[in-house]
Structure 1
Amino acid sequence: MTTANPPRLLTPDEVGACIRQFRQMRHWSQEQLAEISGLNVRTVQRVEQGDSASFDTRRALARAFELNDIDALNKPFSLPTDEELKAAQEQFERDHVTLAVTPLTTGRQLASLVTSCEMDLSEPAIELPREAAAEFASLVDYYREYRECHDLYSETDKLEIYDDLQRHIDTLRVLGVSLTYGQRGVALRMGSGLPMSATCLYVVAFRLGQEPSQIVTPKAARIG
């Protein structure tokens, strides 16, 4: 059994190793971590290489990984043992699922996806500028309304829906945002009743040109 390491200030190399481990555990690229933390990619690369990181940079990284204490990397820190790292990785994988995602480029494609899934979890993977955030929210509101009453539309009417969805997608691309989607079977539990099977659509916004091929999402979620 490995003895726990006593708390101490981490060296730059150790901070870099921790950041790399935390990032890889979540299946994030350096570009994704940069977006989530608000840092530039070169800063993330330098930190992982063992270069000295400022107080604010360490805070930004701790916040990105949702550490309980955003100053955890600026204080004496107990490095996890190999056994603790392995246990944390296994726990993370039990609590999360990795989904393949595909570029979402046309309004017709989005309409078909929306009507083939009973629910969706749609959100930006990055902090969007105000204009792009409003456009993404408008798109989500639009296709959720369409899903609720799509069977009332004629085939001719649906062509207008496809065009409207396409305009939202195109506007987001002009604003530097692209969309990806993934699908996943889920079990919905309503109160104390038996779980019901459903298909969940994930529509995720990324910076144009930085779309991943996979995302990691919690296995369980509370639907409000």
Structure 2
Amino acid sequence: MLFAQEDFMTTTLLDPKLLGLWARCVREAQHLSQEALAEAAGITVRTVQRFEAGETVQIGSRRSLAKALGYGDQDIFDDPKFAATVLGFFDDLRVIQQKQVDDQHPDQTRLAAQLVSSGEEAIRFAQGNDAALFDISPDLNRETKEIAATFADYVRDVGELDDLSAASSLTFANELDDMLKALKAEGAIVYTAKYDRKFVGENWADKTPMSMTLSYLVVVPATKKLEHLYVPRKTKLF
């Protein structure tokens, strides 16, 4: 959450890290160094650094910083309207940044990525699609790729089973749990995404669109945190 909310009509406070980022942006827009801001506010440089890092500072220092940054209201940082304005600014910025990334993938669709953290989640993924595609990052070492390939094959096989019993589902989930732990130990994690599509085969006599759920599973280094997967906009059925 970017802000804590007890009663939106009476108080909306920015997350300290976001407030610190905003203060740094305002300072840099005014071409002020941390030293110059500290001098203008009558506080130490360390206090400015702590504030911009999202750490707690005394209320007097907050007020001095607000004044030194050009705000007439020394309590502006605790004003719900100010918080809403800052949140709106960063929301708009995220939209712009996301569009820039999307424009780099004109032939692809952005899907929300979901981290797979348990065998049960892997089972639900396997059983909840009409077709699944798998990808293993080339940045992984050979041993990790082998574990990832085994995991992907296992998920594919489970997805092809009909009327999976509770006992079988638990057994499969436990085995997938072990594979996920092995991947984690090797520094790899698994993400999935789903895409509901309508298809018309090029050689179909009946051109009535057929609805399908395509699922994507990727194994990547644990250092690569994903919010989205980009997948082809067009997929041919023959």
Per the normalisation by structure 1, the TM-score is 0.54
Partner residue of 1:178?
189
**Which deviations, in whole Å up to 9, do the C-alpha atoms of 1:52-79 show, x marking residues without a partner?**
xxxxxxxxxxxxxxxxxxxxxxxxxxxx
Higher RCO (C-alpha under 8 Å, 6+ residues apart): 1
The change in CA–CA distance for 1:134 and 1:223 in structure 2 (over 3 A counts) is farther
CA–CA distance in structure 1, aligned partners of residues 118 and 162 of structure 2: 17
Shift of the alpha carbon at 1:128? 2.1
CA–CA distance in structure 2, aligned partners of residues 202 and 142 of structure 1: 15
Shift of the alpha carbon at 1:222? 4.7
Partner residue of 1:209?
223
Return the letter of the residue paired with 1:175.
Answer: E
Return the letter of the residue paired with 2:149.
Answer: A
CA–CA distance in structure 1, aligned partners of residues 237 and 176 of structure 2: 25
Larger CA Rg, structure 1 vs 2: 2
Shift of the alpha carbon at 1:188? 3.5
2:211 pairs with 1:200:
no
Contact 1:126 1:207 in 2 (8 A): no
Partner residue of 1:48?
none
Secondary structure of the 1:149 match is coil
Secondary structure of the 1:140 match is helix
Runs of 4+ in 1 over 4 A off after TM superposition: 89-94
Return the letter of the residue paired with 1:132.
Answer: T
Tell me which of 147, 154, 168 is aligned to 1:142: 154
2:169 pairs with 1:155:
no
2:135 pairs with 1:123:
yes
Contact 2:201 2:237 in 1 (8 A): no
Partner residue of 2:110?
98
Aligned residues with identical type, % of pairs: 19
Shift of the alpha carbon at 1:94? 4.2
Q: Give the gaps of 5 or more residues in structure 1.
A: 1-88
CA–CA distance in structure 2, aligned partners of residues 101 and 125 of structure 1: 15
Shift of the alpha carbon at 1:155? 0.9
Q: Give the gaps of 5 or more residues in structure 2.
A: 1-100
CA–CA distance in structure 1, aligned partners of residues 137 and 235 of structure 2: 17
Partner residue of 2:41?
none
Q: For this pair of structures, how many residues does the alignment match?
A: 136
The change in CA–CA distance for 1:190 and 1:206 in structure 2 (over 3 A counts) is same
Shift of the alpha carbon at 1:138? 0.8
Per the normalisation by structure 2, the TM-score is 0.51
Shift of the alpha carbon at 1:140? 1.2
**Which deviations, in whole Å up to 9, do the C-alpha atoms of 1:114-141 show, x marking residues without a partner?**
1111111110244321111111111111
Tell me which of 126, 129, 140 is aligned to 1:114: 126
Contact 1:126 1:205 in 2 (8 A): no
The change in CA–CA distance for 1:147 and 1:176 in structure 2 (over 3 A counts) is same
Secondary structure of the 2:161 match is helix
Contact 1:178 1:205 in 2 (8 A): yes
**Which deviations, in whole Å up to 9, do the C-alpha atoms of 1:144-188 show, x marking residues without a partner?**
11111141x321121101101111111111111001111111233
